[in-house]
Amino acid sequence: MSEVLALEVRNIVKRFPGVLANDHVNFALRKGEVHALLGENGAGKTTLMNIIYGLYHPDEGEIFVNGEKVTIDSPHDAIRLGIGMVHQHFMLVPVFTVAENLILGAEPTKGWTLNLDAAREAVRRLSEQYGLEVDPDEVIEDMPVGVQQRVEILKALYRDAKVLVLDEPTAVLTPQEVEELFVIMRQLTERGVSIIFITHKLKEVMAIADHITVMRRGKVVGTTTPAETNEQGLAAMMVGREVVLQVEKSPAKPKDVVLEVKDLVVEDERHLVAVDGVSFEVREGEILGVAGVQGNGQTELVEAITGLRHIRGGKVLLRGKPTPERNPRYLIEHGMAHIPEDRQKHGLVLSYTIADNLVLCTYYKPPFAHGLQRNQAAIVENAQKLVGQFDVRTPSIFTTAGSLSGGNQQKVIVAREFSRPIKLLVANQPTRGLDVGSIEYIHKRIISMRDQGAAVLLVSAELDEITSLADRIAVMYHGKIVAVVDADKVTRTELGLLMAGSKIAEAAPAV
């Protein structure tokens, strides 16, 4: 180890109440490499990066930058040491311009006055130097997410970052934008920047990383290279056991139409048209996947179908009958199950117990209610049965839903929704933020619902999820369905292009 490392951490320990988030973690970043940090949610990746960036203080351990021992007490220290971070949720002020965001906290001045000309000049110089094209006067909230990410990278470069931490940078990007990001990452490493690439996506790690460090439950499991391993091997390292990456499923046997959406028009909060004349149908025993980059109207579409949002035009028919508008209870009683996009906001009442959350759809009916009174015994019995059946890991059924992990929260929702007799399942981002093990479980459950004859509408921004689960795929772009294709007749590249709004000849509608 004669080579000087860009960054090294030794024996980092970080405890949170009840959790050992980082357990004697060692990690070494060589100069000019892309080093992937791979692990499930809650494995301790983000904790480690927050320690390196000075947002958390480690309980034990040492950090070395360029071979010298340092203490990092705040982001200020990290920036001074040449460490830059691109956070998973962008740290950009939406109403500021690119130039303003770039200089925030390190502003060039003329006398007392901000020197925005110097800021614009810096944007142009860095853009040119690293091949990251942006307009210095554009306002962040008007820019596509991929370009916002470039601004985040520029921000770090403006502060002379030599070590760049990218926290789940591909989560919000289209496949094409991911390709562009990888090109940028290569350009950066050629210019001597070292990159820590945090992710849980195996394909991307194999594509870009020079070294891969895998973390599990706060510990480093091992360090490897793409040449020495494959996706299966990495998944096993992450989870600690063999994982089935591709869900086993038999061909779909579609029967009667359950859900029919006709010329649906829905507005968002700002009264702009978010869903623009969408029509499709979902049949018994099939999964229709809605693919698309986040924010193309999927949320509004699902909310309209599930009775949560006002419908501006068009119709939603459930088994041939028009559904009354904004009446979730009607839908629930007629066999609709809903796994909402935001499980903490719309899926659960976090301050209620698991037992109460499990009867949110049925609490007013026997056996859970006797007239005006709740039947506690039936509620408890129901909870005990479902917690076992759906493998919810919890100390007790009286634990509040808010104290469960994301995966277990999702299992509670799935248990509640799947334990009723259902005809239609609407699942929006059912595995967002979950670990590989939980994803595998939820996917199996969704397939088995299909096989029992339910119609499934699956909305997801994860292309892998869509391609492995859906029988047919509808691609949404700017509020419209640009194509409906059979899942086995379309390639990832074609889907990616459709998601980015371009039309291709091969993707002719095949309803």
- Applying CB under 8 A, among 5, 64, 66, 96 the residue interacting with other proteins is 96
Which among 69-77, 121-129, 233-241, 370-378 is the span making contact with other proteins, rule CB under 8 A?
A: 69-77
Nearer to other proteins, 14 or 450 (CB): 14
Q: Does 85 bind other proteins (CB under 8 A)?
A: yes
Determine the 3-state secondary structure of 476 from DSSP: strand
Pairing mode of beta strands 257-267, 219-224: unpaired
Structure tokens at 121: 């000049």
For β-strands 311-318 and 257-267, DSSP reports them as antiparallel
- Helix intervals (H) in 39-198: 45-52, 75-80, 98-103, 116-130, 145-158, 175-190
Contacts of residue 58, Cβ cutoff 8 Å, sequence gap at least 6: 12, 13, 14, 22, 51
Q: Residue 146: how many CB atoms within 10 A of its CB?
A: 18
Convert 388-412 into a string of H (helix), E (strand) and C (coil): HHCCCCCCCCCCEHHHCCHHHHHHH
Instruction: Tell me which residue of 286, 329, 322 sits closest to 306, measured CA to CA.
Output: 329
Minimum distance from residue 73 beta carbon to other proteins (Å): 11
Beta strands 7-16 and 257-267: pairing type?
A: unpaired
Q: Per CB under 8 A, does 57 bind other proteins?
A: yes
Which one among 9, 49, 81, 103 touches other proteins, defined by CB under 8 A?
103
Nearer to other proteins, 74 or 384 (CB): 74
The DSSP annotation for 18-53 comes to: TEEEEEEEEEEE-TT-EEEEEE-TTSSHHHHHHHHT
Query: Which one among 27, 53, 418, 441 touches other proteins, defined by CB under 8 A?
Result: 53
Q: Is 182 in the site for other proteins (CB under 8 A)?
A: no
CB of 295 to other proteins, least distance (A): 17
Q: How far apart are CA 452 and CA 420, in angstroms?
A: 13
Minimum distance from residue 192 beta carbon to other proteins (Å): 23
How many residues in the shown chain lie near other proteins by CB under 8 A?
30
Q: Does 79 bind other proteins (CB under 8 A)?
A: yes
CB 499, min distance to other proteins, A: 28
Compare residues 126 and 261 and give the one whose CB is closer to other proteins: 126
User: What is the closest distance, in whole angstroms, from the C-beta atom of residue 345 to other proteins in the complex?
Assistant: 16
Residue type, 255: K
Out of 107, 121, 180, 281, point to the residue binding other proteins (CB under 8 A).
Answer: 107
Tokens of 317: 């028919």
Contact between 95 and other proteins by CB under 8 A: the answer reads yes
Given 11, 60, 69, 105, the residue binding other proteins (CB under 8 A):
105
Of the candidates 391, 387, 367, the one whose C-alpha atom is nearest the C-alpha of residue 377 is 367
Q: Which of 137, 179, 190, 488 binds other proteins (CB under 8 A)?
A: 137
Q: Which stretch binds other proteins (CB under 8 A): 30-38, 73-81, 291-299, 368-376?
A: 73-81
CA dist., res. 59 & res. 185, Å (int):
32
Q: What token pair was written down for 400?
A: 């509040």
Beta-carbon neighbour count of residue 103 at 10 Å? 22
100 binds other proteins (CB under 8 A): yes
Is residue 104 part of the contact set for other proteins (CB under 8 A)?
yes
* Range in contact with other proteins (rule: CB under 8 A) among 82-90, 244-252, 255-263, 410-418: 82-90
Interface with other proteins by CB under 8 A: which range of 83-91, 430-438, 472-480, 495-503?
83-91
Place of tokens 């520029």: 154
Which range binds other proteins by CB under 8 A, 32-40, 50-58, 281-289, 421-429? 50-58
The CA distance from 20 to 9, in Å, is: 17
**The one among 114, 245, 257, 500 contacting other proteins by CB under 8 A:** 114
Could you count the other beta carbons within 10 Å of the beta carbon of residue 226? 17
User: Per CB under 8 A, does 402 bind other proteins?
Assistant: no
Query: Which of residues 11, 19, 62, 74 is near other proteins by CB under 8 A?
Result: 74
Q: Shortest distance, CB of residue 402 to other proteins, whole angstroms? A: 16
The nearer residue to other proteins, 76 or 125, going by C-beta atoms, is 76
Q: Name the residue nearer to other proteins (CB basis): 104 or 236.
A: 104
92 binds other proteins (CB under 8 A): yes
Q: In the complex with other proteins, which residue's Cβ is closer, 12 or 386?
A: 12
- E strand or H helix at 300, and its extent? helix 298-305
Helix (H, G, I), strand (E, B) or coil at 190: helix
Rounded to whole angstroms, how far apart are CA atoms 495 and 473? 9
Between 119 and 495, CB nearer to other proteins: 119
Q: Is residue 113 at the binding interface for other proteins, with CB under 8 A as the rule? A: yes
Instruction: Report yes or no: 189 and 163 within 8 Å, Cβ to Cβ.
Output: no
- Residue 360 CB coordination number (10 Å): 16
The residues of the shown chain that bind other proteins, judged by CB under 8 A, are: 50, 53, 55-57, 74-76, 79, 85, 87, 90-96, 100, 103-107, 109, 112-114, 137, 155
